[in-house]
Amino acid sequence: MRAETVTITDDAITAELSDGRSISVPLAWYPRLVHGSSNERSDWRLIGGGVGIHWPELDEDISVGNLLAGQASGESQKSLKLWLSQRDPTSPRSELRP
């Protein structure tokens, strides 16, 4: 299954799929996207011909298969904290939320 386009709001990621379906999952499943700015979240591209979505500024990749399976990010808290500590401190969402 392939994504054709992606829409991101403050609450959800929605992918329009090649078979006509739409899948929407909570943004909260992907902490890097939650902590990214609106501009960072809107800077995505399809990878692998649409089998995945990549956010270069956030170093995040999500496969369409994981969206369909309802699988949230598997990133550990340790990894997320390290990533957050390396972000620009002037970024409005660079603080780790509870």
| pLDDT for res 94 | 42
Which domains are assigned to the chain?
Answer: 3-85 (3.30.2020.40)
Render each residue's pLDDT in the chain as its tens digit; 98 residues: 899 999 999 999 999 999 999 999 999 999 999 999 999 999 999 999 999 999 999 999 999 999 999 999 999 999 998 998 888 665 555 444 44
| pLDDT for res 87 | 85
Ordered DSSP codes for the chain: --EEEEEE-SSEEEEEETTS-EEEEEGGG-HHHHHS-HHHHH--EEETTTTEEEETTTTEEEEHHHHHHTPPP---HHHHHHHHHTS-TTSTT-SPP-
| pLDDT for res 98 | 40
